[in-house]
Structure 1
Amino acid sequence: MNEISIKSFVSGRVRLKCEAFKTVSTHSLETLLSPLVFEQRLNRACASLILRFDPLKSSLESILEALQTSLHVRIKTPELSASAALYCDACSSCHVKSLDAKTPVSWRSKMVGFALLSVYALGLFVVETFFATSVALSFLPAVTAIVAFVAALPLFQEAIEDVKARRFSLHSFMAVALLGAILGGEVTAAFEIIYILRGGMLLEEYTAERSKKQIHELMALGVKKAYVVVDEVELEVDVSEIKEGDIVVARSGEKIAVDGIISEGSAEIDEAAINGRSEPALRVLGDSVYANTLVQRGRIYIRVSATGEKTYLARMIASVESSLAQKSPSEVSADKLAAKLLKLGTLLTAGTFLLTGSWLRAFSVMIVMSCPCATILAASTAISAGIARGAKEGILIKGGAYLEAVSQSDVFCFDKTGTLTTGVPHVIGSVCAPDVSYESLLYYAALAEHHNSHPIGIAITKAAHLIGFTCKEENPSEIYAGLGVLLHDKAGEILVGNAKWMEQNAIDIASFKRKSKKSLQEGKSVVYVALNQKALGFLSLEHEVREGTLAMLQGLRKRGVKHLVLLSGDEEVVARSFAQTYGFDEIHANVMPEEKASVIEALKERYKSVVMVGDGINDTLAMSKADVAISFASGGSEAAIEVSNIAITNSHPHDILKLYDLSAKSLGVVNQNYWIGTGTNLVGVGLAGVGLLSPVAAGAIHIGHTVGIMANSSRIAWSVDNNS
């Protein structure tokens, strides 16, 4: 029997898949579902049915029931509530799931809840500080206990789930501490714990959800419509209606809407979104092209191989989001530490009670050991100060674990184009024929390139402007994609382009071959200039390297980084020349995004921690696989910025060194704070065990070492070692 599976479901829209949809009558489906839905679209080629309905008038359950009865099929997925959110197998979750019947708490409700806690915290401070003798103060502990308990309910629920699953996490640990503090009368400490925890959880959730939202928005910003050839006529249709095997047309200035193979024509295509290459690539008959790449010049007919969620870019984004959902080593370590602390605290509390027979002493030991504030604040205050310091320097850090990991990383991987280079070519030299000057060579080149929007043409025109040449040529050049340009001028026929362009026009460039080969081996681009069938020489161009790149790489080595890796979509000769100039240990050229990700995963097997620095969509998959992902935000893609753990707003290589030093300083202060917290805890346990520390005094010790830890951490905000 055929099965209906739910491939995607959001409120009012569902996509179903079933082999029966390939043969079912469209009319019968319309008759069956018209009372339940207001729009339906059947795609027989992929056996899918897309339905839109009003959730107030209909439900997913009623639609499935109608299909099941009429088509005699089974429902593959579990029974779902009307509010269930399902994701297709190419999206982030990559699974079909049923959600709890309880309505999820909205982001706005969580914000309101935390705001109310903040108001109460302020009120608590005012009352205890200015109305210490007030009669109302006698009611304050009871009210505070109720507030703390209610605020901790979500934590208690998670702790119960942990216990049911036979695991002990930080939630379990904190829940025990909070209950102990509330029942033991330390209600102010309990409120303080839950207030800090709720704020931290809210911030973490905001960061994670924002990243996911930006990734989904990136997919939504793709091409909405495209032209499909039907009976030799081009018809504009929604991209969602295009199916495999259709012929789609794309022209100059248009984004390609699908993945496919060129069946006719040729074009220069900007593929930076896919492979990071700095210059457009010439694609001809039989070549593969990808959705969301840009046709800069030309017209191509594409036989569709994938659309929508099946395209290369969509699958890459889905892989990115899947990687983001995985727990980091720091989170796993925190859970293990919490379990150990819980066991140790339980052991010391029970031991104290057995040895002394005093419930009061045992409870004092429990407050000292089970209160997690020292452990939390030791790291959180130092890291928060580090994050604040980074923000002042234009370094936006999305989590403490990432700040810590930077200075602990053995490997730094760098994308080239847009990260270490600006992606803008510029003229750096020339080789001229004996009777030709550099000015003349540049003059004729700019004359022909004046109307060309290609990055190299723009660079040549700018170089000519710098020597005072202003082009007034009104005759447009003839542009030949992937080759060069041709201009018929009063001075004669001017040709500007690559060696192949010269050879096609029977221009003798043999005398320049040796020097041009050397330029190519150094990673430069070579553009020949010819006038009236005579070669005048060639111009050398290279992409501008960001100032301070070499100093940054050398600085990382001085700080102990063991391995520097270059990941580039450029050709082998270009990437290798760049890597040798700047001292990289490992080079990977001409790599696609998933190949970059594979390199990162391989490096993680050989080294303790790996950092990936990039700026484009093509870097996001590799960034998601790294232990720490750093984006150069100035001019970088939104996807890379959102996927990254750290965004450097000024895109200056020197900021990598600032970040490394900030990480090392913060980590040092964290260790100092742990000693402060551990030392006071040991003293507290000892005093409580011999009866010299009451529960109230245990709370006082907590406040004392909290102040000490915060004071120590505050040093980071104004004093960061800067060895760069």
Structure 2
Amino acid sequence: MSYEKDVKSYRVEGLSCTNCAGKFERNVQNIEGVTDAKVNFGAGKISVCGQVSIEQIEKAGAFENLKIIDENIFGNESVPKVSLLQKNLHVLLATCFVFLGGISMYLQGEDSLLTIGLFLLAILIGGYNLFLEGLKNLLKFEFTMETLMTIAIIGAALIGEWSEGAIVVILFALSEALERYSMDKARHSIRSLMEISPKEANIRRGGKEISLSVKDIQVGDTLIIKPGQKIAMDGVVIKGYSAVNQAAITGEAIPVEKKVHDEVFAGTLNTEGLLEVNVTKRVEDTTLAKIIHLVEEAQGERAPAQAFVDTFAKYYTPFIIISALLIMIIPPLLFAGDWNSWVYQGLSVLVVGCPCSLVISTPVSIVSAIGNAAKQGVLVKGGIYLEEIGQLKAIAFDKTGTLTEGRPVVTDFVNLSDNLSDSEVFSKLAALEFFSQHPLAAAIMKEAEIRGINYSTLTVTNFSSITGQGIQGDLQKMTYFIGRPKLFAAYLDNNPALVQDYLTLEKQGKTVVLFGTKNKVLALVAVADKLRVASRGVINQLHSLGIEHTIMLTGDNRHTAEVIGTEVGVSEIKGNLMPEDKLSYMKELQEKYAKVAMIGDGVNDAPALAAASVGIAMGGAGTDAALETADVALMGDDLEKLPFIVKLSRKTLRIIKQNITFSLVIKSVALLLVIPGWLTLWIAILADMGATLIVTLNGLRLMRTRSNQL
């Protein structure tokens, strides 16, 4: 038996309710050698810190027949597959005895020893584990679902209601089995992503091609991917050209062109050419692995609705027990009621009062929605954000890379130097921009490549970024600046013609930067970024969905902002903004609209993204910063996923409300049947089972929701 000293995660099969999850967690924490344990109910996982074996953990979950699987071998063929029928053979056997008991009751009467014996066998076989757990809890005064059912069934036997006791056991066991199956199905929605990535891959080492397990592939290895094969690791293409289907990561249905220097992801499909890829991440660090980890963590986060349900259930269960007790004793004691009849009614109240459907109503919906969103290229980091998105009243957009494609190109270059050629000025400009991370720098570098300008011989020193204004650096013993007019204010005051040229380019919707020294502007560079094809349609959809206000926040000049903002159709446009200005506007929007989202690239807009009710990052695939910092990430850089996640979130909220309402209403109606004395044990269990199944199936509908169905 092997042990692990550090924190280790395991998958848990059969975890069907939050109460059971809490009990399982406490049981594992009490194992000798364990210092801490944490159950993630939504994802069906447990993390254990300390020395412990799988056998010990399974023993701690024996009350629910939980199956524990090492996280690292999930999806492996060595893990035995057990069918729903195999898991519940005891239910089938108990049902047979109930059927035989029914025949015996018809032929020999309900009081015959054979009839009672057959029903007793059904009760013991179908409810063995239930009774063990219920009696243990009863001795500890823990009034769980198992405790309520155990009291009810024992009580039914004591007053001679053997047939109803047996039927209650069967229906309860069936309800538990279906509930467990439904939750496992919802969890498998995201776990199935693990199975799309190959377990082995062909690599080249030392001039030889060999096949290795992905666990043994190292960063720096060369991966060989043939047409039709799935890519096993994240990496960068070093040879070849192909189209890769990235639907598993980004939700994009159309294959994406991949050439040298392009990034590829584990789990995606190479459709055409042969690719050679330099591996950049180990298997546990791939984008796919991070998505799965983050989604499972999100599925374990409690949404506000879940917190309400858990608090309600905390008081609801004791209320049901006290009510049942009063129903049993008050009518016989005060109104000369029949003891057997009212004890029976009280037992029925215990059964119908089980909070199963209420407790399961929210998590099954959240798990289904988050898993479905991830498979369609939208990573939601928790149930709380799913609820927040559904309540949004305003959305703020960054411009570059969000409403526009984020691939600006140089449209104009005006050389203002008296003694330097275009290529000389541009080489200095490119040498300085080489150190910048701004999107405009990429456009200038691309233009330098097109012009065939060699800037690598120029050495830049003392490079620094001037927040919100530009950059500076020393080149050939001279300090140069690139950026906004503020950097050249003194020079521009004395050159109105240059200011006019600058404004003319801006009015055309172009972003203009100046290049020069402290005393002279040497060049004007105009850059334009193409509007995304989907941007205007997305804004229209959001307005039609009832989003009251859309605002574009950009650091670009007012003229460029006006051109882009007007074309895309946002409600409000703000340009010339510093990062702190975006933050201020975000706070103003929150004061006015309460629920506000900010969508940007996840890095440059960090303050505004953090301040928003929900921070949404574009292009999360391959961007660690976006994956880690954003509340929501659009993995495929696809703005059209924004209306989809808004609609999915609203549908999730509707379903949660439907589930909670239905669960409470059906139980209330069943409890009212006590007044005329119509409530029976089998009606009680059918009400409880029916409510549980309906809220579960209603929540599972979210797994199949697609953007074109909303």
Deviations 1:340-375 (A, max 9, x none): 75587468646744456612212312322x322222
Q: Do 2:473 and 2:481's aligned partners in 1 also have CA atoms closer than 8 Å?
A: yes
Deviations 1:88-142 (A, max 9, x none): xxxxxxxxxxxxx994336544994587545479665132236755879835523
Alpha-carbon separation, structure 2, partners of 1:479 and 1:505: 24
Q: Letter of the 2:572 partner, please give it.
A: D
Shift of the alpha carbon at 1:516? 0.4
Q: Do 1:620 and 1:639's aligned partners in 2 also have CA atoms closer than 8 Å?
A: no
Alpha-carbon separation, structure 1, partners of 2:379 and 2:500: 48
How do residues 240-389 of structure 1 correspond to structure 2 at under 5 angstroms?
329-330=304-305, 333-334=308-309, 337-338=312-313, 341=316, 345=320, 349=324, 352-353=327-328, 354=330, 358-368=342-352, 370-389=353-372
Q: Do 1:566 and 1:587's aligned partners in 2 also have CA atoms closer than 8 Å?
A: yes
Equivalent of 2:572 in 580, 585, 588: 585
Deviations 1:13-65 (A, max 9, x none): xxxxxxxxxxxxxxxxxxxxxxxxxxxxxxxxxxxxxxxxxxxxxxxxxxxxx
Partner residue in 1 for 2:549: 563
Deviations 1:586-625 (A, max 9, x none): 75975557x8677656654543433343443575665555
In structure 2, stretches of 5+ residues that fail to align are: 6-32, 39-45, 68-81, 98-120, 154-167, 191-299, 332-336, 464-470
Residue 538 (structure 1) aligned with residue 521 (structure 2): no
Q: Letter of the 1:387 partner, please give it.
A: I
Q: Letter of the 2:147 partner, please give it.
A: L
Shift of the alpha carbon at 1:645? 3.8
SS of 1:653's partner is coil
The count of aligned residue pairs is: 475
Partner residue in 1 for 2:37: 105
Q: Letter of the 2:444 partner, please give it.
A: I
Flag the 1:461–1:701 CA change in 2: closer, same or farther, 3 A: same
Q: Do 1:485 and 1:496's aligned partners in 2 also have CA atoms closer than 8 Å?
A: no
Alpha-carbon separation, structure 1, partners of 2:649 and 2:487: 52
Q: Do 2:597 and 2:612's aligned partners in 1 also have CA atoms closer than 8 Å?
A: yes
Partner residue in 1 for 2:648: 662
Flag the 1:147–1:589 CA change in 2: closer, same or farther, 3 A: farther
Flag the 1:182–1:419 CA change in 2: closer, same or farther, 3 A: farther
Deviations 1:197-247 (A, max 9, x none): 99999x99xx9xxxxxxxxxxxxxxxxxxxxxxxxxxxxxxxxxxxxxxxx
Partner residue in 2 for 1:460: 444
Partner residue in 2 for 1:170: none
Q: Letter of the 2:389 partner, please give it.
A: V
Flag the 1:680–1:441 CA change in 2: closer, same or farther, 3 A: farther
Q: Do 2:302 and 2:384's aligned partners in 1 also have CA atoms closer than 8 Å?
A: no
Alpha-carbon separation, structure 1, partners of 2:550 and 2:686: 49
Equivalent of 1:125 in 67, 88, 109: 88
Shift of the alpha carbon at 1:393? 0.9
How do residues 356-435 of structure 1 correspond to structure 2 at under 5 angstroms?
358-368=342-352, 370-415=353-398, 419-420=402-403, 425-429=408-412
Shift of the alpha carbon at 1:407? 2.4
Alpha-carbon separation, structure 2, partners of 1:543 and 1:627: 28
Alpha-carbon separation, structure 1, partners of 2:560 and 2:649: 33
Higher mean C-alpha deviation, range 607-616 or range 386-395 = 607-616
Flag the 1:674–1:721 CA change in 2: closer, same or farther, 3 A: farther
Alpha-carbon separation, structure 2, partners of 1:506 and 1:718: 60
Flag the 1:390–1:478 CA change in 2: closer, same or farther, 3 A: closer
Q: Letter of the 1:394 partner, please give it.
A: G
Shift of the alpha carbon at 1:180? 1.7
SS of 1:556's partner is helix
Shift of the alpha carbon at 1:658? 0.9
Shift of the alpha carbon at 1:721? 5.9
Deviations 1:398-433 (A, max 9, x none): 434432332222122445566556665432445689
Flag the 1:587–1:340 CA change in 2: closer, same or farther, 3 A: farther
Flag the 1:723–1:103 CA change in 2: closer, same or farther, 3 A: closer
Partner residue in 2 for 1:249: none
Deviations 1:298-339 (A, max 9, x none): xxxxxxxxxxxxxxxxxxxxxxxxxxx999754554456446
Alpha-carbon separation, structure 2, partners of 1:131 and 1:344: 32
Q: Do 1:424 and 1:544's aligned partners in 2 also have CA atoms closer than 8 Å?
A: yes
In structure 1, stretches of 5+ residues that fail to align are: 1-10, 12-100, 161-174, 208-324, 434-439
Higher mean C-alpha deviation, range 122-131 or range 691-700 = 122-131
Alpha-carbon separation, structure 1, partners of 2:619 and 2:61: 32
Q: Letter of the 1:388 partner, please give it.
A: G
Alpha-carbon separation, structure 1, partners of 2:66 and 2:315: 35
SS of 1:371's partner is coil
Equivalent of 2:149 in 181, 188, 192: 181
Q: Letter of the 1:384 partner, please give it.
A: V
Alpha-carbon separation, structure 1, partners of 2:426 and 2:583: 41
Higher mean C-alpha deviation, range 332-341 or range 660-669 = 332-341
Alpha-carbon separation, structure 1, partners of 2:454 and 2:582: 46
Q: Letter of the 2:378 partner, please give it.
A: I
Q: Do 2:309 and 2:359's aligned partners in 1 also have CA atoms closer than 8 Å?
A: no
Partner residue in 2 for 1:704: 690
Alpha-carbon separation, structure 1, partners of 2:583 and 2:61: 41
Flag the 1:422–1:668 CA change in 2: closer, same or farther, 3 A: same
Flag the 1:570–1:526 CA change in 2: closer, same or farther, 3 A: closer
Q: Do 1:613 and 1:629's aligned partners in 2 also have CA atoms closer than 8 Å?
A: yes
Q: Letter of the 1:365 partner, please give it.
A: V
Structure 2 length normalisation: TM-score?
A: 0.52
Flag the 1:348–1:624 CA change in 2: closer, same or farther, 3 A: farther
Q: Letter of the 2:640 partner, please give it.
A: H
Shift of the alpha carbon at 1:635? 6.2
Flag the 1:447–1:614 CA change in 2: closer, same or farther, 3 A: closer
Structure 1 length normalisation: TM-score?
A: 0.51
Alpha-carbon separation, structure 2, partners of 1:704 and 1:643: 41
Partner residue in 2 for 1:717: 703
Shift of the alpha carbon at 1:660? 1.0
Flag the 1:597–1:427 CA change in 2: closer, same or farther, 3 A: closer
Q: Do 2:514 and 2:521's aligned partners in 1 also have CA atoms closer than 8 Å?
A: yes
Alpha-carbon separation, structure 2, partners of 1:618 and 1:388: 28
Q: Do 1:528 and 1:535's aligned partners in 2 also have CA atoms closer than 8 Å?
A: yes
Alpha-carbon separation, structure 2, partners of 1:182 and 1:540: 78
Alpha-carbon separation, structure 2, partners of 1:506 and 1:611: 38
Residue 470 (structure 1) aligned with residue 452 (structure 2): yes
Partner residue in 2 for 1:551: 537
Flag the 1:140–1:483 CA change in 2: closer, same or farther, 3 A: closer
Q: Letter of the 1:362 partner, please give it.
A: G
Over aligned residue pairs, what C-alpha RMSD do you find? Answer: 5.7
Shift of the alpha carbon at 1:664? 2.5
Q: Letter of the 1:361 partner, please give it.
A: Q
Higher mean C-alpha deviation, range 693-702 or range 601-610 = 601-610
Q: Do 2:535 and 2:639's aligned partners in 1 also have CA atoms closer than 8 Å?
A: yes
Flag the 1:133–1:391 CA change in 2: closer, same or farther, 3 A: same
Shift of the alpha carbon at 1:558? 1.6
SS of 1:685's partner is helix
Flag the 1:513–1:576 CA change in 2: closer, same or farther, 3 A: same
Alpha-carbon separation, structure 1, partners of 2:373 and 2:381: 11
Identical pairs, percent = 21
SS of 1:105's partner is strand
Flag the 1:609–1:328 CA change in 2: closer, same or farther, 3 A: farther
Partner residue in 2 for 1:685: 671
Shift of the alpha carbon at 1:561? 1.1
Flag the 1:138–1:480 CA change in 2: closer, same or farther, 3 A: closer
Alpha-carbon separation, structure 1, partners of 2:587 and 2:648: 26
Deviations 1:284-305 (A, max 9, x none): xxxxxxxxxxxxxxxxxxxxxx
